[in-house]
Structure 1
């Protein structure tokens, strides 16, 4: 059995972390512990991992103890860092690359009412309108979605490959929408949903917004005012209509749920998007920027001012 006391669980550099994990035996040890209901002894782990030499096994096991594994009198268990590795592997994020070609779903475009298609590629669900030019017109601004010429891009949402398992195209859309909405809730409160660091929140208003054909020729968007949230630590960034800056506010969420709209798990994605798309954003000041948001549902209006104080809160 491995000897010595367990090292302190201290941070490691990215290079050291990847070097530690760059070995099949170590990854198999982590995966075996990920499947366990509790601590596993040295002998139990050795029997489960495909390596005969106990000295070699002990060497690799010791490399993991401290940052990725915890050694106790009962045996070995995963630390949080080890659990994250298992989650990444099981989600398929680091091993799988499934593709789903554009597939019809039982939803309509909330802009024009035409049928909608969803496609899965590179851990993202992209949604396309079959008739209109989508959210950004022919420019497909900021989409990175490789939009086929015959479709309009309505948006993209992250979904690890495991999200496709056992799901129809409609269920894939619902899963991606729910996951994306939870990210909006977290990011709108100033917390990165990927790494937990602070995000910089921002609002931007088009100075000459005209949307006679649906998309402004100046900013390339349908919305005159947009909200953004970008992580100060990792490469996560998200954004959309300014209303999304309110997703973490209790009063706004209460207004939504009081009118039968669940922001995370709506009964219908189309009905939900149609309801929250019909709002006004009134710019009261540009320097500093101050925007009043007004959303009316079933005759009731929710109003909220977004300004620098809101963004810094």
Structure 2
């Protein structure tokens, strides 16, 4: 982990009293976002500490996770980020959700698909072992958003992952992602990127890598479709192996995006850059 001592950060929040302080300040932020400050006595009462020295010690240990001014105490931007990560539910590997039926069919067997959250992952599955695919969607989205909007919002997050990766941005830490088109064992290709800041690997189908490309978005917009919120697993051009190898030296891979008899073809080089487009 670059730019921060991870051990120091974890030690700051290792004591339950400090967690209670952060939680109290987070509650104040939720209840009154325009005035999130808690006076010292309010914070002491919220945490249930009578000894000023004890409270002062833990406030000092939290350091720049908390801001102190004349108005009192509030979470800093860093503190909010830490609380936000915990609130997202990604640290609770015991949390489960689903299964919920979703559009599309399994690319391996053709059976209907479901979404199910367990073991810290949202699984897209037909309920056959070995056919599942993990989506990086936090429990907070599944809990906080209306049920009738979940699929399109899950799709938006996944499609955004492809867009960020194509632009060289890590979806986990916003570090720099370097990668290239890589050949799979079955002969197809996917884009494999690596973030040297947090170590995340970004391997995704070539089609998903292109969902956010301006030409692809424009193509679907002309057909009255918002591809940004369309589940990528329902799009034929996002199917692993749907791409065509035009040449191997240099590597050129073509992706054909088709809708209502209209086709947009995009050709990529090894680095994943679109080097040619064609409309037919």
TM (normalized to structure 2)?
0.81
Query: What is residue 39 of structure 1 aligned with on the other side?
Result: 37
Q: 150, 168, 172: which one pairs with 1:194?
A: 172
Q: 235, 243, 248: which one pairs with 1:273?
A: 235
Give the CA RMSD over aligned residues: 3.1
Listed one character per residue, the Cα deviations across residues 62-109 of structure 1 (whole Å, up to 9, x for unaligned) are 2223x21122222222222201121122122224522246x3615341
Q: How does 1:94-109 map to 2 (within 5 A)?
A: 94-95=91-92, 97-100=94-97, 103=99, 105-109=101-105
Q: 15, 22, 25: which one pairs with 1:23?
A: 15
Shift of 1:21: 0.9
Q: Is the Cα contact below 8 Å between 1:117 and 1:128 reproduced in 2?
A: yes
**Which deviates more from structure 2 when the two are superposed, residues 183-192 or residues 86-95?**
86-95
CA separation of 1:27/1:280 partners in 2, compared to 1, >3 Å: closer, same or farther?
A: closer
* Partner Cα separation in structure 1 for residue 232 and residue 69 of structure 2: 52
1:288 aligns with 2:266: no
Query: How many corresponding residue pairs?
Result: 266
Listed one character per residue, the Cα deviations across residues 213-271 of structure 1 (whole Å, up to 9, x for unaligned) are xxxxxx24xx72212232221132232321222233222221123223333323xx488
Listed one character per residue, the Cα deviations across residues 11-64 of structure 1 (whole Å, up to 9, x for unaligned) are 651111111110111111111111223222222211111222111001111222
Q: Which 5+ residue runs of structure 1 have no aligned equivalent? A: 1-10, 131-146, 207-218
CA separation of 1:262/1:238 partners in 2, compared to 1, >3 Å: closer, same or farther?
A: farther
Query: What is residue 260 of structure 2 aligned with on the other side?
Result: 298
Query: What is residue 236 of structure 1 aligned with on the other side?
Result: 200
TM (normalized to structure 1)?
0.73
Q: Is the Cα contact below 8 Å between 2:166 and 2:209 reproduced in 1?
A: yes
* Partner Cα separation in structure 2 for residue 294 and residue 117 of structure 1: 27
3-state SS of 1:264 partner: helix
Query: What is residue 50 of structure 2 aligned with on the other side?
Result: 52
* Partner Cα separation in structure 2 for residue 167 and residue 123 of structure 1: 18
3-state SS of 1:81 partner: helix
1:68 aligns with 2:65: yes
Q: 215, 223, 226: which one pairs with 1:262?
A: 226
Q: Which 5+ residue runs of structure 2 have no aligned equivalent? A: 276-280
Q: Is the Cα contact below 8 Å between 2:182 and 2:190 reproduced in 1?
A: yes
Shift of 1:199: 0.6
Q: Is the Cα contact below 8 Å between 2:207 and 2:237 reproduced in 1?
A: no
3-state SS of 2:228 partner: coil
Listed one character per residue, the Cα deviations across residues 146-175 of structure 1 (whole Å, up to 9, x for unaligned) are x63xxx515220222233427798866554
Q: How does 1:87-166 map to 2 (within 5 A)?
A: 87-95=84-92, 97-100=94-97, 103=99, 105-109=101-105, 111=107, 113-129=110-126, 148=129, 153-165=131-143
* Partner Cα separation in structure 1 for residue 218 and residue 266 of structure 2: 14
Query: What is residue 179 of structure 1 aligned with on the other side?
Result: 157
**Which deviates more from structure 2 when the two are superposed, residues 172-181 or residues 254-263?**
172-181
* Partner Cα separation in structure 2 for residue 249 and residue 226 of structure 1: 16
